[in-house]
Amino acid sequence: MEAGAGLRTPVRRTIAPGSRIRVMVVDDSVVIRRLVKHALTEDPSIEVVGAAANGAVAMQLIPQLNPDAITLDVEMPEMDGLETLIQLRKLYPALVVIMFSTLTARGAEVTIDALTHGANDYVTKAANVGSLDQSLEKLRSELVPKIRQFFAFSEAPRKRAVAAAPFRKAVTPRAVGIAVSTGGPAALASIIPQFPAAFPLPVLITQHMPPLFTRLLADRLQAGTRLKVSEAVHGQKIESGHIYVAPGDYHLRAARRGVHVQVELDQGPPENSCRPAADVMFRSMHDVWGGGVIAAVLTGMGHDGLRGAELLRHEGATVIAQDQESSVVWGMPGAVASAGLADAIVDLSEVVPEILKRV
């Protein structure tokens, strides 16, 4: 899985007072272009500066419109989203690109490709939502925050100065849990190959993604490692040297059943607006292994994983946070670090070496 392009961490651009985030909408559907424009212009911090029906037109308009961000449809005639993205990254490496994907096998596959080729994030298109108001609400609640997360306004600090927690002896680890969101597919593609073939612990991963996407993500990760990687299945035995990816729309829990630990999946209420949620996974790992866990919180928007990491560390678990410089969005790891829960705050490239040092 080639992830080099996807690992370019964008510099969070500061928007000057009185200015707005300039967005261009690229989609072959007139209806979608109008919906997206309408949803975005309702936010006072965003200005839609133009639109294009395909990638070829978009490439011509970018020098004229000078957007800060682009919403890019996956499926388009003449020049599709992935081809456009590859060209964009050659010419405009700092431009924020949010992919628009359908919840289909083809849409999910191309979106995973796009994320590993440098797309910053993605939104799934509303399908059969039933009304224009529902479509607009989905765009307001999902697309607007995903654009805003890559920008800072001048009154906000650009970087938090946070130190790792004081050293203390941790409990011997028996499992690894990884929480990740925005920027996750590229981050995981970078670190999973670093695990040795004889890694002696199970690894549970919660990546915020919808159904179908998580299965394809597991398949891509499998191609880069000699460990066994799979989308988690209910009732599956949790074994050493196996990586389990939480399936989209299901919480992943570890549960002790007799002498074995197994996967349990459920569709309980979302936590931190997420399902799967890292806090759910971390709590279950605490219930099974107590402090015998290494919890790694990687790039992502929001604070999912914070409460679970707090619970684990209280029992002697090790908590690792990705640093701000290598994170696409320093929300999740930043929350853990700012709360003083991180035993180590490290560059993405050092996450697995840090885990191996403590195993």
The pLDDT, as a whole number, for residue 52 is: 96
Q: Is residue 160 part of a domain?
A: no
Range of the domain at 317: 175-358
Q: Is residue 164 part of a domain?
A: no
Q: Is residue 36 part of a domain?
A: yes
Spell out, as residue ranges, where the chain has pLDDT lower than 50: 1-9, 156
Q: Are residues 88 and 181 in the same domain?
A: no
DSSP-assigned states of every residue in 259-318? TEEEEEEE-PPPBTTBSS-HHHHHHHHHHHHTT-EEEEE-SBSS-TTHHHHHHHHHTT-E
Q: Are residues 84 and 149 in the same domain?
A: yes
The pLDDT, as a whole number, for residue 155 is: 59
The pLDDT, as a whole number, for residue 129 is: 53
Q: Are residues 234 and 317 in the same domain?
A: yes
The pLDDT, as a whole number, for residue 159 is: 56
Cα 56 to Cα 263: distance, rounded to the nearest angstrom: 46
Q: Are residues 142 and 16 in the same domain?
A: yes
Residue 182's nearest CA partner among 242, 246, 115, 132 is 115
Digit-coded pLDDT (tens) for 241-263:
999 999 999 999 999 999 999 99
Q: Are residues 107 and 199 in the same domain?
A: no
The pLDDT, as a whole number, for residue 158 is: 53
Q: Are residues 225 and 354 in the same domain?
A: yes
The pLDDT, as a whole number, for residue 5 is: 40
The pLDDT, as a whole number, for residue 164 is: 86
Q: Is residue 162 part of a domain?
A: no
Q: Is residue 168 part of a domain?
A: no
Q: Is residue 111 part of a domain?
A: yes
The pLDDT, as a whole number, for residue 126 is: 61
Q: Are residues 142 and 287 in the same domain?
A: no
Q: How many domains does the chain have?
A: 2
Q: Is residue 166 part of a domain?
A: no
Q: What is the CATH number of the domain that holds 221?
A: 3.40.50.180
**What tokens appear for 70 in the block?**
């682009």
- Which is it for the CA torsion 118, 222, 204, 265, positive or negative? positive
The pLDDT, as a whole number, for residue 130 is: 58
* Catalytic residue numbers, as ranges: 181, 208, 304
